[in-house]
Amino acid sequence: MMRKAMPYVIGGAVAALIIAIGLIVWFTIAGAWPVVVDIVLVFTALTGAAVVLALAVAVFFLTRTVLQVRDEVMPVLESLKSTSSAVRETAKTAGAFGVNPAVRTASMLAGAGEIAAVVLGRGHVQKRAEKRQKRRQEIERELAAKGELNGHSDH
């Protein structure tokens, strides 16, 4: 498609260049440059005014759109705020009535189990005493093997 239009584009550019050169020569011969400058200045002023008007209309529509979006977003944000408050309260209630008692019960059961283990002789206290006794027996065996038991050496 572009290749078919290329000769027409080149031809149009060449024609515009020829017309521009012809107008420059004609305005110079006729002495009409002051009129051409006035026409260009009027055209530029009108174009600038049209651009300013278009920008003013764009700002107006942008402002209107922003206000419409704000009017539609605010109720959604209010709904989100109330929903998050409801979720927060639900989590507090679930923690107060579900999680906290379960944690307290589990910790009390674990503590009672440890107390029962210590009282019944299977707890940490018994284990530490057993470890100390085993270590003492190992040391006594080592000393007996060296012949240094009871501070006397066989040497």
In the block, tokens 């764009």 appear at 58
Establish if 25 belongs to a structural domain: yes
Give per-residue pLDDT as tens, 48-57: 999 999 999 9
Alpha helices in 1-155 (DSSP H): 2-30, 33-94, 100-119, 124-146
How many other C-beta atoms lie within 10 A of the C-beta of residue 22?
10
Distance between CA atoms of residues 141 and 149, nearest Å? 9
Query: Regarding predicted confidence, which is higher, 27 or 149?
Result: 27
147, 155 contact by CB (below 8 A): yes
Distance between CA atoms of residues 97 and 105, nearest Å? 12
Establish if 151 belongs to a structural domain: no
Confidence bin at 149 (pLDDT 50/70/90): low
**What domain range is 97 assigned to?**
15-146
Establish if 61 belongs to a structural domain: yes
pLDDT attached to residue 116: 77
Give per-residue pLDDT as tens, 21-36: 999 999 899 988 899 8
Question: For the chain, how many structural domains are there in total?
Answer: 1
Retrieve residue 146's tokens.
């060296």
Answer yes or no: pTM beyond 0.75.
no
Establish if 86 belongs to a structural domain: yes
Establish if 154 belongs to a structural domain: no
pLDDT attached to residue 154: 53
> Crossing angle of helices 124-146/100-119, nearest 10°?
40
